[in-house]
Structure 1
Amino acid sequence: MTTTAEPAARGTDVRLPYDGLLDLATAVFAARGMPRARASAAAEALLYGDVTGMRSHGLVNLTRLYLPLFDDNRADPAADLEIVADRRAAVLVDARRSLGLWAAGEAMDMAVARSAEYGVGMVSVRGGTHFGCAGHHTRRAVRQGAVGVLLSNCGRQRIARPPGGRSAMLGTNPLSVAAPAGPGLPPFVLDMSTTAVPTGKVREAARAGRGIPEGWLQDASGQPVTDPAALDRGEGFLMWLGGRPETGAFKGYGLALVVEVLAALVAGAGLGPAPEAFGGDGSPTGRDDDIGFLALAVQPAALRPREDFLSDAAGMFQSLLDCPPLQAGSPVGYPGTREAAYEEDARRHGVAVSEALYAELGEVAETIGARAPRVVAP
């Protein structure tokens, strides 16, 4: 659940082979009781954050987010998805606390399969858990020739306030749209939170001891906060995409409510806005349990010749790449181009992780009788 890719930090990084990291993460999930194939799918989803430059949503969350879900019995490693209602092109699924890193991909694949038959497929999911980078899952649809859409609320976790409100009522409520961009071009992959940034970026800055710019957090009175640790102290509230009300905050807030309706209200999942949010001093409350998400797939080939669609897509996205830049050496791109460049570099030269994370992965590996992969020689 992310915004956009950002450059990997340098100076304290090591490079590790992708296959070795995938094997390790798979083994860790399998050791928690996930069937091997599911563990591998979950590991691939987790690593997507690291290989595409969105490291706040990658391996750093293995011990901070996903393993605690198992340890606290908030995720069931062996749970199967349960179809609750099936209306052919529309399906309601109970994820039954299965790990979202795997379940979201399954929901997207189901939506694509239905779209192949009906032109559009919608899978509404309740009982979900955190699924990592939404773009990883929507990109699965692109590989099968479809346009993929994924929206997720944050269950009953409340960390952002309605504009003008005192109580936190909503989560980051991310969304992703992915589409083929034509032959030879990276797919279009939009992956964003409806808040100015996701919580992962704030916590990444806190771990690194960096301040954050104004516009990410505000205090209870609406004043800017530049200390990232204020988020987990309950003294900082995420701001909406658009910033303040006068600069467009109602757009981010409105999008968050769109996600809440389509992802959670339709599915019957846990909702952010609820009376219990009014207790206390208005600080962030609740946990991201019973997450709702919506996986939607659209088959352009059901409506027009596939070759025509791909030709038009190539013309559209190539035109963006050909747009004259304001500064030489800073070419124009579109969501998905930077991520594709990071992934190519990571797979060729190794995945960049911090030395601290490398040490942490070594400790995790020891707990299951394994070893962290060796550093790739420069």
Structure 2
Amino acid sequence: MTDLDTAPATRVRVPHDALLDFTTAVFTAHHVPPTRARAAAEALCHGDITGTDSHGLANLTRIYLPLLESGRSPADAEPKVLADRGATVLLDAAGALGLWQAGEAMDLAARRAADYGVGLVSVRGATHFGCAGHHALRAVAHGMIGVVAANCGHQRIARPPRGRAPMLGTNPLSVAAPAGGHPPFVLDMSTTAVPTGKVRAAARAGEPVPAGWLADDRGEPVTDPARFDSGEAHLTWLGAPGGGEYKGFGLGLMVEVLAALVPGAGLGPPAAGPAADDDIGFLVLAVAPAAVREPAGFHRDADALFGAVLDCPPVELGEPVTYPGWPEARRAADAAARGVPLTLALYGELGEVADRLGLALPGEC
């Protein structure tokens, strides 16, 4: 029994590989080239496989298919290199599907890091790319540290502390690193208290959200998630309440600088035009420890660092201390062995997509 089985009556399990094949087929049915479609499927399903449902297949019909069907993300868009300085590259994504493009950017960054010790790829004209951690992990596959940060284009859903107007998006960032013989370290976070996906998931489920996620115009806590999309509530920053909201807001501005100001992508502030998540900017960075120290020593020290965290005595017996990336790796292993858990509602949505496109929906495990 795992923590994914807490509500067995509301979930089904679908074979891991069959779910990836189905999602790939959905993208190819929308004219995404096969290699891109597979990469996009892996990036999207990563959320469901690791238990980050808010960034998984729930967004297939809410974000990605509308992007493709509207033409805002051309299925065969060809990103262009605008500047190449060896260790640093600037790309215009040309609206390409972010689920694929972000991984390509990290692979390029890793190739440059192999030559220069670091590789930085700055991207503008991008679209939503799902879980930042999935793309940061691609650097770990090369024995490197990966950093990913993205703004939300012109989307404005969070207000500066003491401000009356929303100016920034959730502006996520991620860092992934090898952890020796342990599962990789993967920090994947929004700079707001939570991402919008968690709020909307609660709204779909008809469940309240904890105080501190949302606030009204007076700064009072809001627990009804439906009030977010109705415009009656806005996201709070990481660190709020309690006076620490300047930390989350500062991190959000940091991401805006690195991910949008540097490549020349769409900015949240100054407020002008529709608050849409078009012209997203992101930064991917690969750092190669082997360029500055002996790889075996790095591996040994990483193993000791994260092993020490896991060995920390817990406050409560049966609730071990872990680190970001460890629980997700455990869920991924469980999903590979026993199937990916999907809510009945999401499984029904995928069935509708399958019927519309003439595809076979994967059966339950």
- Band the TM-score falls in, shorter-chain normalisation: over 0.9
| Shift >6 Å, 4+ stretches | 5-8
Percent identity of equivalent pairs: 61
Write the distance in 1 (CA, Å) between the matches of 2:55 and 2:159.
23
TM-score of the superposed pair, with normalisation by structure 2: 0.97
- What letter is aligned with 1:97? G
Matching of residues 7-18 of structure 1 within 5 Å:
9-18=7-16
* Structure-2 residue corresponding to 1:212: 209
Alpha-carbon displacement from aligned partner over 1:5-64 (angstroms, at most 9, x marks no partner)? 988754210000011111111011011111001000000000000010001110111111
Answering whether residue 148 of structure 2 is matched by residue 150 of structure 1, we say yes
Write the distance in 1 (CA, Å) between the matches of 2:5 and 2:70.
34
* Structure-2 residue corresponding to 1:280: none
- What letter is aligned with 1:148? G
* Structure-2 residue corresponding to 1:319: 308
Does structure 2 retain, via aligned residues, the 8 Å contact 1:6–1:54?
no
Once the two structures are TM-superposed, the CA of residue 73 in structure 1 deviates from its matched residue by 1.7
The residue matched to 1:83 in structure 2 has which SS? Answer: strand
TM-score of the superposed pair, with normalisation by structure 1: 0.94
Answering whether residue 323 of structure 2 is matched by residue 334 of structure 1, we say yes
Write the distance in 1 (CA, Å) between the matches of 2:200 and 2:272.
26
* Structure-2 residue corresponding to 1:262: 258
Once the two structures are TM-superposed, the CA of residue 247 in structure 1 deviates from its matched residue by 2.6
Once the two structures are TM-superposed, the CA of residue 80 in structure 1 deviates from its matched residue by 1.6
From 321, 339, 356, the equivalent of 1:367 is 356
Write the distance in 2 (CA, Å) between the matches of 1:372 and 1:171.
34
- What letter is aligned with 2:284? A
The residue matched to 2:179 in structure 1 has which SS? Answer: coil
Q: What do you get for the CA RMSD once the two structures are aligned? A: 1.3
Write the distance in 2 (CA, Å) between the matches of 1:325 and 1:219.
37
Does structure 2 retain, via aligned residues, the 8 Å contact 1:195–1:238?
yes
Write the distance in 1 (CA, Å) between the matches of 2:305 and 2:4.
24
* Structure-1 residue corresponding to 2:281: 292
* Structure-1 residue corresponding to 2:240: 243
* Structure-1 residue corresponding to 2:84: 86
The residue matched to 1:60 in structure 2 has which SS? Answer: helix
Does structure 1 retain, via aligned residues, the 8 Å contact 2:167–2:271?
no
Alpha-carbon displacement from aligned partner over 1:310-359 (angstroms, at most 9, x marks no partner)? 10000000000000000000000000000001101111100000111111
From 203, 208, 225, the equivalent of 1:228 is 225
Write the distance in 2 (CA, Å) between the matches of 1:7 and 1:160.
34
5+ long unaligned stretches in structure 2: none
Answering whether residue 98 of structure 2 is matched by residue 100 of structure 1, we say yes
5+ long unaligned stretches in structure 1: 278-284
- What letter is aligned with 2:347? Y
Once the two structures are TM-superposed, the CA of residue 122 in structure 1 deviates from its matched residue by 0.2
- Return closer, same or farther for 1:205/1:275 CA change in 2, 3 Å cut-off: closer
The residue matched to 1:117 in structure 2 has which SS? Answer: helix
Answering whether residue 351 of structure 2 is matched by residue 354 of structure 1, we say no
* Structure-2 residue corresponding to 1:136: 134
- What letter is aligned with 1:37? T
